[in-house]
Structure 1
Amino acid sequence: MKKITLYFMCMIYAFSFSQDIELETFATGFSSPVNVKHAGDDRLFVVERAGIIKILNANGSTNSTAFLNIDPLVINNGGEQGLLAMAFHPNYASNGFFYVNYINNSGDTVISRFTRSTADTADSGSELILMTISQPFGNHNGGDMHFGPNDGYLYISTGDGGSGGDPGNRAQNLGVLLGKMLRIDVDGTSNGNYGIPVDNPFVSNTAALDEIWAYGLRNPWKFSFDRNNGDMWIADVGQSNREEIDRVLASSSGGENYGWKCYEGNSVFDTAGCPPMNTLTFPVAEYAYGGSPFKCSITGGYRYRGTQQSSLDGLYFFADYCSDQIGVVRETSPDVFQLTFEDQFNGGFSAFAEDINGELYVVGLVSGTISRITDANLSIDDESFKSVKMYPNPSDSVLNFDATGTSIQINTITFYNILGKTIKTVTGFTDQSISISTKNMANGIYLVEISDINGNKDTRKLVVN
């Protein structure tokens, strides 16, 4: 018996694959949320820019009492300042430690540790400052933090210090912590309130700061780790030409130079005094600044590794803050990636979130809404043509097309191979439910175009093996 697997897709540009997604509202009422993390249980912790962290429960309710309120410590002039991120210690369940990244009232970055006091509250007086980084300008603060899944060290992304064009060339300067990915040992004390991992790439370089893991970044305000393999994905906001996505293999020993301000994405920006091009690490995906709708600032996300949306597996989700578009990067073959924008919504997306089960959420800075990302395929929920179901019959090599319960009448089914060549066309229907044999179709990937009697069309991917 042949195995038939179905995927939903839209037909764009000679059958390049796309994904139809929906945002399912999970919780509302947040004030400028910028970061969401889980603590190893089914709750989400929502970071608000003003300096407040709230607990979002698995049923979508929000605790009335804040988990942490450090508003007096945090500058809150809007823009790119404020409380930016948090990360839970790998042993949070036993030690109660978590870490925050905020801009203080002097305009500088502070990385500090707080301690849980009860299951639902933290002690706002327990702050232990690990480091303070001087910021020359009010923008490009970076700000995300994650513990490495394979090494337990804290990774911190920093921007180049702001203004435009990195006027201090800080991203390329190993003597400053700006424009970098940092890596520290929060359980160590060799550098005050933290330690330096002995295998950090520049510990033997007297001209470099020991905390630096990688450099040449402009404003990587969101990054994440792939929970399946430990790869790091960095979304780096561009200047006025390219927005880029970098992937760092879990096997990396660090030391990568991502090229800013020598290059913006794959495009030359200012190569004066820059190292050879072949020593730089270039993005696995990028897109152009500008256009219509206007794009200007990438918000990085996660590679989907949950279990509820199997058709999304392995897709890296991101958004553009200005256009409100959500896109994905898919690996079309080993180490070959394709970037596509999927859908446009509303909300001003500032972050993505991953819950304990690997399900993904997107965070609306402007709307104050946390929404769950779902696959929109194969559901009969309205009168649109997308409400047609296509599924394999238990008998061998038969597909059922079912629009029962809608006003849709299916007219034509056309099968194409992956190159767009017509394999089979079956027409003349005026029914809501039909069956078509695929018995003589060879194993492979096909595109199935469904048309109704009014000429509406939709396309789905069919895998036969």
Structure 2
Amino acid sequence: MYLTKKKQTYFTMKSRNYLLFVLLFPILLFSQDVSLQSFASGFTRPVDIKHANDSRLFIVEQDGVIKILNSAGITNPTPFLDIDTRVRSTANEQGLLGLVFDPNYATNNRFYVNYINLSGNTVIARFTTSANPDIADDTSEEILLTITQPYNNHNGGSLAFGNDGFLYIALGDGGNGGDPQNYAQNLQSLLGKILRIDVSGATSYTVPATNPFVGNPAGLDEIWSYGLRNPWKMSFDSDNGELWIGDVGQSNKEEINNVPIVNAGYNFGWRCYEGNSTFNTSGCPSMSTITFPVAQYNYGGSPFKCSITGGYRYRGADYSDFQGLYFFADYCTNEIGTLEYSGGSWNMTFNGPFSGNIATFGEDSSKELYAAGLSNGVIYKIIDTTLDVEENSLSNNYQLYPNPTQDFFQINNQNSASQIKEVVMYSFSGKLISNTRISTENQKITTSQLSKGIYIVQLISNNDAVSYHKLVIN
């Protein structure tokens, strides 16, 4: 019932916003063009981006530090959490790998991390925030799970809460190559699995009764689904609650899985299958029992693709053409990929290349998307840069400058015969931002108070002619 109500409200609001947008900007033509806009820099190997249902972004650095980034792109001087001395990050895929805030964080101050300890094993731990909301209490750690890692790679690392209120934990197959111990298909091992636990109690955790192997000695109680190689980033669709997983392939296919969480016990196929292709089917179950990916792409090629970074399905309001697209990346090519559902299947498109080795995506409290470059330490905002304006006499006469801008813009080619008397600014989704009257004494329109992004500027001349222009604020 809750999901149905939420979905109906969402589409009602979106339909209303879209209608307003069409009425306001009838001459604008749109097409999707994914780009990355630098939002902040100076981070060291960022591997996760999360929010606590407020304006802050929490940036996880692989060495064991979490920093706070505010809505203006400024990093707090004091880290939110520093557990560097507890974290082993000597191997490329080790470190502090995941973060998530409790659904009731506003009242209980709890958050959860996934890291590799000094012994090389996975730790799932709970912390609480101190009296200062920008600083965690590093003495509050409660270790919930410790999982032995046989090798130093394929650790997974993602943490996420489903709309069922349970904590989901993504774990890789333990490493090496080809899953030599077949951990991913072994239901007596937690490796190569998505775990689901209930952390709502005062301490420790319990196992949801709906987990598929509760009361069944064939599998461990914590297992929710299995058959994964290295699930490098999972997320929940904030609209329909479905789970998305980017699973890194061996040397053939990179795959994307998408499933509803009302069911459980999915077998995603590894090591029997790599994507839709057979890998090692010795002792494997029937092909009919496997949940195959909704999309895949080839490892290798030119440019050389090597490792998928799972992302999010876009549910924000700033870019209408992004609505419903699933965003992901390839670590080696620095391309941003999208999946669009059309005609009963998912269509894949690659954009870029960009730079920095995209290792994670993040969503802010408004559901706008971000990405992080592991090698360059830059946090990017994902934007749509395409906005074509139908030409008319007025739009040909005037230009905004500087564009892109930061603090202000002006209008060139002002003349007495067709003086601009009014400048109206809207967000890309059609929300009214400002209305400024122009005079010979006042030619500048201030933008320093506005967030980075794309805006629509409506120019109204003294004879009431109208034109629309795109303005980019960096």
Contact conserved, 1:7 with 1:377, CA < 8 A, in 2?
no
Matched, 1:164 2:177: yes
Name the counterpart of 2:445: none
Name the counterpart of 2:367: 358
Once the two structures are superposed, the pairs formed by residues 37-48 of structure 1 within 5 Å of their partners are 37-48=50-61
Name the counterpart of 1:451: none
* Structure 2 letter corresponding to 1:348: N
Matched, 1:260 2:270: yes
Note the C-alpha offset of 1:24. 1.1
Cα distance 1:307–1:206, how it changes in 2: closer, same or farther (>3 A)?
same
Percentage identity across paired residues of the two chains: 58
Aligned partners of 1:390, 1:202: CA distance in 2, in Å?
Answer: 59
Name the counterpart of 2:318: 308
Deviations 1:193-224 (A, max 9, x none): 11000111111211210000000000002000
Aligned partners of 1:236, 1:349: CA distance in 2, in Å?
Answer: 15
Cα distance 1:56–1:78, how it changes in 2: closer, same or farther (>3 A)?
farther
Cα distance 1:6–1:186, how it changes in 2: closer, same or farther (>3 A)?
same
Q: Secondary structure at the match of 2:352?
A: strand
Q: Secondary structure at the match of 1:274?
A: coil
Note the C-alpha offset of 1:7. 5.6
Aligned partners of 2:169, 2:397: CA distance in 1, in Å?
Answer: 52
Note the C-alpha offset of 1:403. 6.2
Name the counterpart of 1:371: 380
Matched, 1:67 2:84: no
Note the C-alpha offset of 1:389. 2.1
Matched, 1:277 2:287: yes
Contact conserved, 1:296 with 1:320, CA < 8 A, in 2?
yes
* Structure 2 letter corresponding to 1:160: D
Cα distance 1:375–1:198, how it changes in 2: closer, same or farther (>3 A)?
same
* Structure 1 letter corresponding to 2:337: G
Cα distance 1:128–1:146, how it changes in 2: closer, same or farther (>3 A)?
same
Matched, 1:224 2:238: no
* Structure 1 letter corresponding to 2:312: Y
What are the ranges of 5 or more consecutive residues in structure 2 without an aligned counterpart?
1-21, 400-474
Which of 253, 257, 268 is matched with 1:242 structurally?
A: 253
* Structure 2 letter corresponding to 1:132: T
Matched, 1:345 2:350: no
Name the counterpart of 1:126: 140
Aligned partners of 1:235, 1:193: CA distance in 2, in Å?
Answer: 29
* Structure 2 letter corresponding to 1:295: K
Name the counterpart of 2:420: none
Deviations 1:272-300 (A, max 9, x none): 11000011000000000001110000001
Name the counterpart of 2:425: none
Matched, 1:208 2:219: yes
Please tell me the root mean square deviation across aligned C-alpha atoms, in Å: 1.9
Contact conserved, 1:237 with 1:298, CA < 8 A, in 2?
yes
Cα distance 1:278–1:68, how it changes in 2: closer, same or farther (>3 A)?
same
Aligned partners of 2:213, 2:29: CA distance in 1, in Å?
Answer: 46
Q: Secondary structure at the match of 2:231?
A: coil
Name the counterpart of 2:328: 318
Matched, 1:113 2:122: no
Q: Secondary structure at the match of 1:344?
A: coil
Deviations 1:235-286 (A, max 9, x none): 0000000000000124x32100000000000011011110000110000000
Contact conserved, 1:263 with 1:271, CA < 8 A, in 2?
yes
Deviations 1:395-427 (A, max 9, x none): xxxx99966668xxxxxxxxxxxxxxxxxxxxx
Cα distance 1:375–1:401, how it changes in 2: closer, same or farther (>3 A)?
farther
Aligned partners of 1:377, 1:326: CA distance in 2, in Å?
Answer: 16
Cα distance 1:369–1:404, how it changes in 2: closer, same or farther (>3 A)?
farther
Give the alignment's TM-score, normalised by structure 2.
0.76
Q: Secondary structure at the match of 2:350?
A: strand
What are the ranges of 5 or more consecutive residues in structure 1 without an aligned counterpart?
10-18, 379-387, 392-398, 407-465
Contact conserved, 2:28 with 2:389, CA < 8 A, in 1?
no
Give the alignment's TM-score, normalised by structure 1.
0.78
* Structure 1 letter corresponding to 2:35: E
Name the counterpart of 1:390: 390
Aligned partners of 2:35, 2:196: CA distance in 1, in Å?
Answer: 36
Cα distance 1:359–1:269, how it changes in 2: closer, same or farther (>3 A)?
same
Aligned partners of 2:243, 2:191: CA distance in 1, in Å?
Answer: 19
Q: Would you say how many aligned residue pairs link Structure 1 and Structure 2?
A: 375
Name the counterpart of 1:458: none
Name the counterpart of 1:233: 244
Q: Secondary structure at the match of 1:93?
A: helix
Name the counterpart of 1:460: none
* Structure 1 letter corresponding to 2:301: G
Q: Which has the higher helix share?
A: 2
Aligned partners of 1:203, 1:390: CA distance in 2, in Å?
Answer: 61
* Structure 2 letter corresponding to 1:357: S
Aligned partners of 1:276, 1:32: CA distance in 2, in Å?
Answer: 41
* Structure 2 letter corresponding to 1:311: D
* Structure 2 letter corresponding to 1:53: I
Cα distance 1:404–1:339, how it changes in 2: closer, same or farther (>3 A)?
farther
Deviations 1:306-332 (A, max 9, x none): 001111000000000011011100001
Note the C-alpha offset of 1:363. 0.7
Aligned partners of 1:298, 1:305: CA distance in 2, in Å?
Answer: 21
Name the counterpart of 2:452: none
Aligned partners of 2:397, 2:189: CA distance in 1, in Å?
Answer: 64
Cα distance 1:267–1:59, how it changes in 2: closer, same or farther (>3 A)?
same
Aligned partners of 2:276, 2:29: CA distance in 1, in Å?
Answer: 32
Aligned partners of 2:124, 2:144: CA distance in 1, in Å?
Answer: 6
Aligned partners of 2:171, 2:52: CA distance in 1, in Å?
Answer: 23
Name the counterpart of 2:46: 33
Note the C-alpha offset of 1:21. 1.5
Q: Secondary structure at the match of 1:171?
A: helix
Q: Secondary structure at the match of 1:72?
A: helix
Aligned partners of 2:180, 2:27: CA distance in 1, in Å?
Answer: 53
Matched, 1:293 2:303: yes
Aligned partners of 2:229, 2:398: CA distance in 1, in Å?
Answer: 52
